[in-house]
Amino acid sequence: MLVKTDKCRPGDVLRRDVFSKSDKPLIKAGTVLKDIHFAVLHAFLIDRIDVRPAGKKKNTDQTSGQNARLAADAPSSAKTANSLLDAVFAQAVSSYRFFFKQWQSGEPVNIGLFRKDMMPLLKRSLADPVWFAGFLLHLTSLRSFEARCVAMGLVSGFLGKKAGLDPGNVYQMGLAGMLADCGMAKLPPSLVRRANDVPGQAHALYERHVLDSYNMLKGVPTLRESLILAVIQHHEREDGSGYPLHLRGERINIYGKILAVCDSFISEKDKAGAAGWPVRHLDHLARCAYGRLSGYVFAKFCYAVMTLFIGMNARLSNHQHGEITFVPDHQPTRPMIRLDNQMIFSLSDHREITIEQIDFK
């Protein structure tokens, strides 16, 4: 029966799929509702759902076997919570695609609607480091432009939080990351889809997207001016080699430095294969971006990312396996590993050996 969401209780069973804007269900029929589901329903302003009250059978002939199968579908583990957040991510990507088409047709940025659709994912990702760690490990599988923009926002919010920004600025940081490339809507569609492989003669046109992003966001209510400035600075570099203004480090604000690090990391995943991701690519970025990205912000980012993986399994280039147990702040990509034979192996002492893969236990 159709019931107001506020009247439902944990344990009620969803009878029909719940949709928002995407054609993929936000929550599937048969789900036994828990607190995490209500948080998502309220975030997406779903005010009515079709549920069967807790304890009520489908019909008088329902068998204990059917009840057991229903219980098996109940979201009672971290894996279920993660799959729910995956659905929220897919919903955010679908919404971003909708907004981007509006911008391509000349519509202004409606920050109110954009916030409403993106904040549920941003808030949940910041509150769930286990999901975010898995998200980073599978980042190379995201191929669409819209998924890249949403991922940029999540990574930016994460780094903003780790850099010690207050909660309000953390959320603004995440939204700024998602909107940093909104000016791509002004480019020919052929350039949008090949942002990391733009032909030489078209690169000057491509670089205009930063100015277009700034112009689209300038004057947008509730977005702070310092964050809007960060959007125009996210391709600037500490040594002045960036664009569009060729600013040097002292003229790039902290938010611009954060966006620059996050954008470089996301771009690295676009060029990367799955092998060695993300550790090997953090090392590669550290070498290539030395003197170009803020050393302080990049060090914060590397340490914050690597500490997410403490307790996870690592496969090493010498074919050994073990658990990541400690991440040194001075060399975060060279953690200590407890091998399968219980010996402690320090990658800092074995420079020739690298982490090939990280997995959940």
Dihedral, CA of residue 45, residue 47, residue 53 and residue 59, to nearest 10: -110
**Which amino acid belongs to residue 52?**
R
Which DSSP string do the residues of 203-269 spell out, in sequence order? Answer: HHHHHHHHHHHHHHHTT-TTS-HHHHHHHHHTT--TBS-SSSS--BGGGS-HHHHHHHHHHHHHHHH
- Long-range pairs for 28-33: beta carbons < 8 A, 24 or more residues apart: 30/70, 30/73, 31/73, 31/74, 31/75, 32/70, 32/71, 32/73, 32/74, 32/75, 33/8, 33/9
Q: Mean pLDDT of successive 10-residue segments in the chain (361 residues)?
A: 85 85 73 79 80 66 39 38 81 96 97 96 95 92 91 98 97 98 93 69 84 95 95 97 95 98 90 78 92 97 98 96 96 96 95 93 71
Query: Torsions phi, psi of 346, nearest 5?
Result: -95, 115
What the chain holds in terms of domains, given with CATH numbers, is 1-54 (3.90.105.10), 79-298 (1.10.3210.10), 309-359 (2.30.30)
Q: Residue 66: which residues within 8 A CB-CB, separation 6 or more?
A: 58
6 and 33 in contact (C-beta within 8 Å)?
Answer: no
297 and 261 in contact (C-beta within 8 Å)?
Answer: yes
260 and 293 in contact (C-beta within 8 Å)?
Answer: yes
Quick one: how far is CA 36 from the chain centroid? Answer: 19
Please state the pTM of the whole predicted model. 0.80
Predicted local distance difference test score (pLDDT) of residue 27: 83
14 and 27 in contact (C-beta within 8 Å)?
Answer: yes
Predicted local distance difference test score (pLDDT) of residue 274: 64
Predicted local distance difference test score (pLDDT) of residue 327: 97
